[in-house]
């Protein structure tokens, strides 16, 4: 399987079989335990990480629902992954869209693509298209799961596998925190997980189409997101605890 690694170099996967087995068994055990704790949901961006989690959830028949934030600015390949994933795994991915009035107010104030002009505008856009819909998506759940990894960004280097999401008063699980990009690709090959075609075109981190690009040679994965900003601002606000985690037992 040939894909791109995090420095935009072609790589033929040669995974460490023992490491992959260990990681997979640990992930399965973790998701089994999480799924037994009441209503739990996976927040999926249809990235490789979230597809790995979806595969485990479906393969083990776990009682974990899946949702995505349909921001209205997703890449067509990402939108196509929703139906592709539902068909492959026989599940429903619940979609949450921006509130129409709030979106119109944002466009009136900043312009459709005003997020390129200032951090204020970009955060306002993320607030309307992601944060408010996330709040609705999490309603009724006791915990949620993400595909975050520690090596994805400077803001995630102290990411815990289990943390308290104080913004939504929920427990948040990051079961892939210790995985690296090679681990994700190795699992995807082993279990024939469908992947977003953008990954094969140099997109490692995937978000909204106007705010995501393929990385250049030598760049870090997160350099493809909001590339006009400093590295320490490259979060949309979905994960407010990053760099300020509260570890819980």
Q: Any idea which residues carry the catalytic annotation?
A: 236
- Judge whether 174 and 146 are in contact, CB under 8 Å: yes
Dihedral in degrees, nearest 10, Cα atoms 200, 203, 204, 206: -120
CA distances from 129 to 3, 32, 89, 138 (A): 30, 31, 27, 15
Give the strand pairing for 65-69 and 93-96: parallel
Query: Nearest CA to 144 among 222, 208, 226, 69?
Result: 69
Place of tokens 């107010």: 105
């Amino acid at each position: 399987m040939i894909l791109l690694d995090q420095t935009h170099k072609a790589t033929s996967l040669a995974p460490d079989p023992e490491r992959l087995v260990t990681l997979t068994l640990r992930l399965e055990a973790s998701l089994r335990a999480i799924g037994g704790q009441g209503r739990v949901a996976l927040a999926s961006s249809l990235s490789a990480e979230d597809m790995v989690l979806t595969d485990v959830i479906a393969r083990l028949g776990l009682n974990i629902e899946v949702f995505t934030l349909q921001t209205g600015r997703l890449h067509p390949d990402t939108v196509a992954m929703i139906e592709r994933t539902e068909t492959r795994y026989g599940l429903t991915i619940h979609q949450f869209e921006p509130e129409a009035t709030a979106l119109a107010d944002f466009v009136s104030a900043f312009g459709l693509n005003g997020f390129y002009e200032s951090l204020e505008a970009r955060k306002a856009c993320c607030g309307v298209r992601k944060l408010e819909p996330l709040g609705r998506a999490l309603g009724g759940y006791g915990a949620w799961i993400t595909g975050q990894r520690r090596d994805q960004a400077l803001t995630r280097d102290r990411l815990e596998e289990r943390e308290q999401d104080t913004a939504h008063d929920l427990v948040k699980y990051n079961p892939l925190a210790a995985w690296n990009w090679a681990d994700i690709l190795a699992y995807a090959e082993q279990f024939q997980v469908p992947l977003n075609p953008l990954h094969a075109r140099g997109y490692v981190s995937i978000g909204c189409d106007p705010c995501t690009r393929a990385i250049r040679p030598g760049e870090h994965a997160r350099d493809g997101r909001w590339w006009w900003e400093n590295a320490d601002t490259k979060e949309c606000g979905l994960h407010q605890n990053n760099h300020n985690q509260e570890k819980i037992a």
